[in-house]
Structure 1
Amino acid sequence: MTPDRWIVTIAGIGLVAFIIWFFWLKRSTGARATETSGGYQEAMILVKGGYTPDTIVVRSGRPVRLNFRREETASCSDKVIFPDFQKSADLPTGETVAVELMPKEPGEFGFSCPMGMFRGRLVVE
C-alpha cells in the first residue's frame, strides 16, 4: 500500500472509532433533578439535536417529572419512549411536555426517540 492509502485508512478507522464512542459509548455525569415544593424531582430537557442534558440523576422512591421542550422539527424527535416504565409522550414543537415517573428501585433506565437516534439515561440512586 502507498503512504497516502495508509493515511486515508488510518483516518477512516479513527473516524469510525470516534462515531462509535460519540453515539454509543460516551457517558456524561448527568444533571441532578431539583426538588420542588410539590414533592417532585424535576428536570427540564431540551430536545434539539439530542437531549440536553442527556443524563438525569434522581433518588428512588420519589416521583419524577421530566419536562421535555422540543425546539426542532425533525420527525425522529417527535416522541420520547421510556421502555422500562412503559411510558411514552408526544413532543410537539415549541411546547413543554411533562412526563411523570415513579422509580421504585435504583438503576439506570434509558429513554430515546422511536428510532433510537436520540438517547438519554435516568440514573436512580
Structure 2
Amino acid sequence: MDTTEILVTLGGLGLAAYVIWYFFFSTRHITTAVSGSGGIQAVAITVKGGYSPDVIEVEWGQPVQLSFYRAEDNSCSEELLIPDFSIRRELPAFQTTLVELLPQQAGRFEFTCGMGMLRGSLVVK
C-alpha cells in the first residue's frame, strides 16, 4: 500500500466510526410530557433531519398528544410510524400534525419515519 491508499482507508474507517457513534451512542434529547388541562400530556416535536426531542417520557394511563411540526420537505420525513399503537400518519411539510394516543402499559415504544431512518422513542412509565 502506498500513502494515498493508507490515508483513504483511515478516512473511511474514521467516517464509519462516526456514523456508528452518531446512530448508536450519541446523546438523546429527552423530554418529559407536560400535563395540561384535562390531564392530556402534550409534547411538541420538530421533524428536521430527525426528531427533536427524540425520547419522550409519559405516564401510562393518561392521554398523550404529540404535535409533530415538520420543518423540512425531505421525502424521508413525510411519514410517521408508531407500530405499537397502529399509527401511520402523513406529515405535511411546514405543518403541525397532531397524534393522540393512550398508553395502557409501561415500556419503550419506537417511532420512525416511513423509511426507518429517523428514529425516536416514547417511554411510558
State the TM-score, normalizing by the size of structure 1: 0.89
The answer to whether 1:55 aligns with 2:55 is yes
- How far off is 1:29 after superposition? 5.1
Match of 1:79 in 2: 79
Which residues of structure 1 form unaligned runs of 5+? none
Q: Which residue of 1 aligns with 2:107?
A: 107
Tell me the SS of whatever aligns to 2:61.
coil
Question: How many angstroms apart in 2 are the aligned matches of 1:124 and 1:66?
Answer: 14
Say if 2:32 is the partner of 1:32: yes
| Mapped pair 1:43 → 2:53 | no
Secondary structure of 1:38's counterpart equals helix
Q: Which moved more, 1:56-65 or 1:27-36?
A: 27-36
Q: Percent identity?
A: 46
Cα RMSD over matched residues?
1.6
TM-score (ref. length: structure 2): 0.89
Distance 1:25 1:122 in 2: 18
* Displacement after TM superposition at 1:3 (Å): 4.7
Does the residue aligned with 1:84 lie in a helix, a strand or coil?
helix
Change (3 A) 1:29 1:91: closer
Per-residue CA deviation, residues 54-96 of structure 1 (Å, 9 max, x unaligned), is 1111111111110001111111211110011111211112221
Q: What does residue 10 of structure 1 align with?
A: 10
Amino acid aligned to 1:12? G
Secondary structure, aligned partner of 2:18: helix
Aligned residues: 125
Aligned to 2:93: 93
- State the SS of the aligned residue for 1:31: strand
Name structure 2 gaps, 5 residues minimum: none
